[in-house]
């Protein structure tokens, strides 16, 4: 039987996992290329031979997504696999239409074909959009498990933005591990708050190997999702977050709607930041779409390290990068905290942005007067530092989950904005985890 030629459209995450689970040792298909989108600096690399397997002794090239249709024609591709997340349904179908017009099939591979089974109980934390608060919920759940005397290990959705051959399996148990693995700001935003609480985190590329390592030291595996992708592991409890600050998005983005329809527990987070009527309507919509799911509310409580350093000052606000870039939010918790703390003015950083940071404002024109904490390469981290230094502010308000001082020094006063889950009366999330522990038992 003649092999089918395949291209996998990705963003350095789901694409590699789909290849590993569906195509790596499958002689019926020949993956001729990956394409890369969403994330800067991840194209023009090669999926390395040790990861690609025996059928790909030279590895697999990774090209910019802009070259997709030319690659389809050049390699006579019969199937294009879409394998990244947080994309509007309309945009997804425009991409599908372009591929179909070029003569190839457009393939969405479902959860059952790519989910790995664990010997341990698994809780997954996913969302309908990036920026809903998955990381907050993951941290809270790890605390609840620890309170119950159970050792959790977190496995994070992949972010292999560097040397792929060196990122097969990564384990983070201390701050030195972040430097050891040359983590970007985006990786640090996910790993650092968990490591700071004593939770071991795994990530990387080969999630079969990652899962087996995690099972050796964790009594419960907590899948910490990325963007709005569905889990790589079969979960005993699928928790999905929705965001009342973005009503309607729960059914407008892929694969977030998949998550919503699969969820066993839906968390309406940020219920304290939205109008009660909006929260109520969202709960009604969730129940209409997934009547089997339990629906609960949580607050996202913002804490400012030094409000006095903001009051009456001209400030620069730094936000969590993905939330305000491809997450579509114009501003985030930092901007709200600056206003609540009485800032005299929030300076728009655009006039002082340099290099790729300036380019981000062109790529994401919806951005408000905030600076996304982008640092996908050492050069971009330095451009972020230079932008911060150039803005004529009196105080920097940083709402990225990491401590920027671990990466560089700034001469300006820096106020940190943090945000954590706050349970409502009755502690519905704590009760849900308690029921999970009662029902799941201990597999291993």
Q: What is the pTM of this model?
A: 0.92
**CA distances from residue 189 to 180, 316, 365 in whole angstroms, order as listed:** 16, 19, 23
pLDDT of residue 1: 58
Question: pLDDT of the chain along its 444 residues, tens only?
Answer: 578 999 999 999 999 999 999 999 999 999 999 999 998 889 999 999 999 999 999 999 999 999 999 999 999 999 999 999 999 999 999 999 999 999 999 999 999 999 999 999 999 999 999 999 999 999 999 999 999 999 999 999 999 998 999 999 999 999 999 999 999 998 999 999 999 999 999 999 999 999 999 999 999 999 999 999 999 999 999 999 999 999 999 999 999 999 999 999 999 999 999 999 999 999 999 999 999 999 999 999 999 999 999 999 999 999 998 889 888 889 999 999 999 999 999 999 999 999 999 999 999 999 999 999 999 999 999 999 999 999 999 999 999 998 898 899 888 999 999 999 999 999 999 999 999 999 876 443
pLDDT of residue 439: 86
Beta bridge partners of 87: 254
Contact 402, 189 (CB under 8 A): yes
pLDDT of residue 440: 76
pLDDT of residue 443: 42
pLDDT of residue 411: 86
pLDDT of residue 441: 65
pLDDT of residue 63: 98
């Amino acid at each position: 039987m003649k092999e089918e030629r395949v291209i996998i459209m990705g963003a350095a995450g789901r694409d590699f996992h789909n290849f590993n689970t569906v195509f790596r040792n499958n002689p019926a298909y020949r993956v001729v290329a990956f394409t890369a989108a969403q994330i800067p600096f991840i194209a023009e690399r090669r999926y390395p031979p040790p990861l690609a397997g025996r059928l790909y002794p030279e590895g697999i090239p990774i090209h910019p997504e802009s070259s997709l249709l030319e690659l389809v024609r050049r390699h006579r591709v019969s199937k294009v696999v879409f394998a990244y997340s947080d994309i509007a349904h309309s945009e997804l179908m425009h991409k599908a239409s372009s591929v179909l017009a070029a003569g190839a099939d457009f393939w969405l591979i479902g959860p059952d074909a790519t989910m790995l089974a664990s010997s341990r109980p698994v809780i997954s934390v996913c969302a309908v959009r990036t920026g809903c608060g998955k990381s907050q919920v993951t941290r809270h759940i790890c605390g609840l498990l620890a309170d119950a005397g159970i050792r959790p290990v977190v496995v994070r959705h992949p972010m292999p933005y560097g040397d792929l051959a060196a990122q097969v399996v990564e384990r983070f148990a201390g701050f030195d591990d972040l430097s050891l693995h040359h983590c970007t700001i985006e990786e640090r935003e996910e790993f650092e708050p968990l490591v700071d609480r004593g939770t071991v985190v795994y990530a990387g590329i080969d999630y079969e190997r990652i899962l087996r390592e995690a099972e050796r030291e964790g009594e419960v595996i907590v899948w910490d999702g990325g963007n709005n992708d569905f889990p790589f592991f079969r979960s005993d409890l699928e928790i999905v977050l929705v965001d009342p600050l973005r009503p309607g998005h729960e059914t407008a983005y892929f694969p977030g709607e998949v998550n919503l329809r699969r969820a066993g527990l839906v968390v309406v987070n940020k219920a304290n930041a939205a109008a009660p009527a909006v929260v109520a309507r969202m709960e009604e919509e969730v129940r209409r779409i997934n009547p089997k799911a339990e629906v609960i509310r949580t607050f996202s409580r913002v804490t400012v390290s030094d409000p006095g350093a903001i009051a009456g000052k001209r400030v620069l606000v730094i936000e969590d990068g993905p939330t305000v870039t491809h997450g579509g939010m114009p501003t985030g918790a930092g901007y709200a905290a600056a206003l609540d703390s009485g800032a005299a003015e929030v300076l728009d950083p655009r006039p002082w942005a340099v290099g790729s940071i300036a380019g981000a404002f062109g790529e994401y024109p919806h951005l408000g007067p905030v600076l996304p904490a982008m640092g996908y390469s050492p050069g971009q981290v330095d451009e972020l530092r230079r932008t911060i230094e150039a803005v004529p502010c009196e105080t920097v308000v940083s709402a990225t989950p990491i401590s920027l001082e671990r990466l560089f020094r700034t001469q300006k006063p820096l106020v940190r904005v943090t945000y954590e889950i706050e349970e409502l009366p009755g502690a519905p999330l704590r009760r849900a985890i308690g029921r999970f522990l009662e029902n799941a038992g201990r597999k291993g």
